[in-house]
Structure 1
Amino acid sequence: MSNLERDPAELVAETSVLTDTRVEILEPRDVPLGGPRAMTVRRTLPQRRRSLIGAWCFIDHYGPDDLSTTGGMRVPPHPHTGLQTVSWLFEGEIEHRDSVGTHAPVRPGELNLMTAGHGISHLEVSTPGTVRLHGVQLWVALPAAFRDVAPFFEHHAPVPARFGAATVRTFVGALAGSGTAATVFSPLIGAEIALPAGTTVEVPLDESFEHGVLVDTGDVVIEDVAVPVSHLGYLAPGRSTVSLRAESDARLVLLGGEPLGEQIVMWWNFIGRSHEDVVAFRAAWQSEVIAGDDPEGRFGTVDGYDGSALPAPELPTVRLRPRG
């Protein structure tokens, strides 16, 4: 999914890790994806208070959306660099096409993982038969040593596992008997956890990881702290378990990883290591694809789409103050 903000801020992000045991609650902000009938997503990462959880650097939560009202997802071809996109649906279906030749559906309970690396372009469109759309779109920042890797695409379908009262679907890494062989470039965990009303589980954690728990549905208490729907509960490294209690039927997304320990620069759909990187990425996209000067260049082209690719917004006239 693209970041479709018209005036995206340049964000200099670096690891900012708590050293205590409290649960830090991160509130979402609403971001419309396009015009007047656009879907609106609820974004909890990045933000001023926190930019990274491990290498997870972008969390959009959307739906359930009635597509007869919103018009669905219509994201034209757009670029990415220096990251992986992690698509995970709860309801509906999305068509994915990219410049390495992938044409694949995104379906509930199945992971679509796109590694942009050196550069890729892709599109996402909700399918004609989809009436409701509900899911999360996540980005992972690639460590500096791998940020220029050749782009590729993977699909995985994790087998659900029972863990006490919970049902766990682990789409990145392994947890509670569920997992995938999804390619990652730093230690990570990503899992959907479903909990029936009135139940509690103690979920094992890697003590070297920091974690975030996104509440998708239900009344949820994390370590005795109530976390509202679409909010994210942040947990610092050093925990071996986390207590999750559902007051009503609930679904959560657990994300975690070792602190990245690097500074990244995010703007629009690019991740680099400097302002100059981002300027160069934008110039390449505008020249190669939008102007059509080199359609087989860094970002390539997406076959099977009749419309125009998405132009990049204008860069800010000055560097913005770093956040992180």
Structure 2
Amino acid sequence: MSNVEAEPAELTCTSTPGGVEVLTPRDVPLGGPRAMSVRRTLPQKQRSLIGAWCFCDHYGPDEVRMDVAPHPHTGLQTVSWLFTGEIEHRDSLGVHAFVRPGELNLMTGGRGICHSEVSTPDSAVLHGVQLWLALPDSHRDAPRDFQHHVPETVERDGAAIRVFLGSLAGSASPVTTFTPLLGAEIVLPAGTTLTLDVSPSFEHGVLLDTGDAHLTGTALSPGDLGYVGTGRTTLTLSSERGARLVLLGGEPFGEEIVMWWNFVGRTHDEIAAYRDEWQAETDRFGRVEGYPGSRLPAPPLPGGRLRPRGNPA
């Protein structure tokens, strides 16, 4: 998915262990042909990454038509996860695929890729999350790639768990990532308390999609992302009325990155060069075949140099 804010902010992100905190979302209106609003919890001023997770948009359920024209990415992997609806994906690797509920699509745009996303005609309602993973310096020029995975549903203490990245509750995803990571959808029936064994080297975030939930005793409202730092061997989730959550985790990233528009890089000059190459239609990003329209133009860079922002120490 594209970040189509008219004036995207520049961000330099670092990840450090911390305590438990609740990240409340900010509403971001996305213009252009998609004309929808999302709830963004990553990045923000108090926390920019959770492991390598550097971007989290939560949207719907909305009666909306998605039509995101071809747009570029560098230095990241995109993770598409739907609860409701269907989206058609095309990219410059030549992949033509569909995003469906309960199915993972992971696209790698290291050195450069572009793609389009269009909701299918029968998708009157869209509801899901769009997530980005920053690539470490050693792999940030990785070649274009696309992986699809349909995770099994495992039952644990009444909860239904789908692990789309990493491993949890005896279930493991075969999908390749470049840093140690965890991603899972968890559905808690009413009155459920679930305790999960997790890696103490990971920091974790729990996004509440619907319902009510507590993370290790801390209440979350729908749209909140509860953060837990490293050092914990268990996470406890509970719900009185039932809930659906997305659990994200990973080892602290340990590198600074600069994010602007749809690019992840390391310096202002690098981001500016990516923008110039996109505007010049170079081979770095390739072309999307089969999309009936023009590419998204890059917004103008800010007047000053892109300056760092990061997590508090």
State TM-score, norm by structure 1: 0.94
Specify the alignment match of 1:116 in structure 2: 109
Where does residue 161 of structure 2 map in the other structure? Answer: 168
Q: Is the 8 A contact 2:4 2:32 kept in 1?
A: no
Residues 167-206 of structure 1: pairs in structure 2 closer than 5 A: 167-206=160-199
Are residues 37 and 210 of structure 1, via their aligned partners in 2, closer, same or farther at CA, if it must alter by over 3 Å? Answer: closer
Report what 1:42 is aligned to.
Answer: 39
CA distance in 2, matches of 1:37, 1:191: 27
Asked if the contact 1:159–1:179 (Cα under 8 Å) also holds between the matched residues in 2, the reply is no
Equivalent residue runs for 1:11-90 within 5 Å: 11-18=11-18, 20=19, 23-35=20-32, 38-67=35-64, 72-90=65-83
Specify the SS of the correspondent of 1:9.
Answer: coil
How far does residue 16 in structure 1 lie from its aligned partner after superposition? 2.8
Measured against aligned partners, the alpha-carbon deviations of 1:27-78 in whole angstroms (never above 9, x if no partner) come to 10111221497111100000000000000000000001123xxxx2111000
Letter in 2 for 1:53: I
Alignment correspondent of 2:7: 7
- 1:136 maps to what in 2? 129
**AA paired with 1:101?**
G
Paired with 1:180 and 1:243, the residues of 2 have a C-alpha distance of: 22
Q: Distance in 1 between matches of 2:116 and 2:233?
A: 39
Which letter does structure 1 place at the counterpart of 2:286? G
The count of corresponding residues between Structure 1 and Structure 2 is 310
1:75, 1:17 → 2: CA distance?
35
Tell me the amino acid that sits aligned with residue 301 of structure 1.
Answer: R
Distance in 2 separating the partners of 1:33 and 1:104: 24
**Sequence identity of aligned pairs in percent?**
63
Q: Distance in 2 between matches of 1:287 and 1:43?
A: 30
AA partner of residue 17 (structure 2): V
The answer to whether the aligner puts 1:314 opposite 2:300 as a matched pair is: yes
Q: Is the 8 A contact 1:10 1:319 kept in 2?
A: no
Distance apart, 1:164 and its partner CA: 1.0
Partner secondary structure for residue 280 of structure 2? helix
Give the distance between the partners of 2:276 and 2:165, measured in 1 at CA: 33
What per-residue deviation string (whole Å, max 9, x for no partner) do you get for residues 204-233 of structure 1? 111000000000011111111111000100
Runs ≥4 residues deviating over 4 A? none
Aligned equivalent of 1:291:
none
C-alpha distance in 2 between matches for 1:276 and 1:35: 27
- Measure, in 1, the Cα distance between the counterparts of 2:83 and 2:170: 21
1:300 CA displacement? 0.3
Shift of residue 321, structure 1, vs aligned partner = 4.1
Equivalent position SS for 1:281 = helix
Structure 1, 246-255 or 30-39: larger mean CA deviation: 30-39
Structure 1's unaligned 5+ residue stretches are: 289-293
Gaps of 5+ in 2: none
Aligned partners of 1:75, 1:24: CA distance in 2, in Å?
33
Distance 2:307 2:267 in 1: 13
Q: Comparing 53-62 with 25-34, which one deviates more in the overlay?
A: 25-34
1:94 to 82, 87, 92: 87
Which letter does structure 2 place at the counterpart of 1:300?
A: G
Mapped contact 1:13–1:51 kept (Cα < 8 A) = yes
Q: Which residue of 1 aligns with 2:224?
A: 231
Q: Aligned to 1:300, which of 261, 274, 286?
A: 286
Shift of 1:305: 1.0
Q: In structure 1, how many angstroms separate the alpha carbons of the residues matched to 2:231 and 2:118?
A: 40
Post-superposition offset of 1:247: 1.4
1:127-179: CA deviations, max 9, x gaps? 00111110000000000000001111110000110011110000001111223
Amino acid at match of 2:218: V
Alignment RMSD, CA only?
1.1
* Bigger mean CA deviation after superposition, 148-157 or 32-41: 32-41
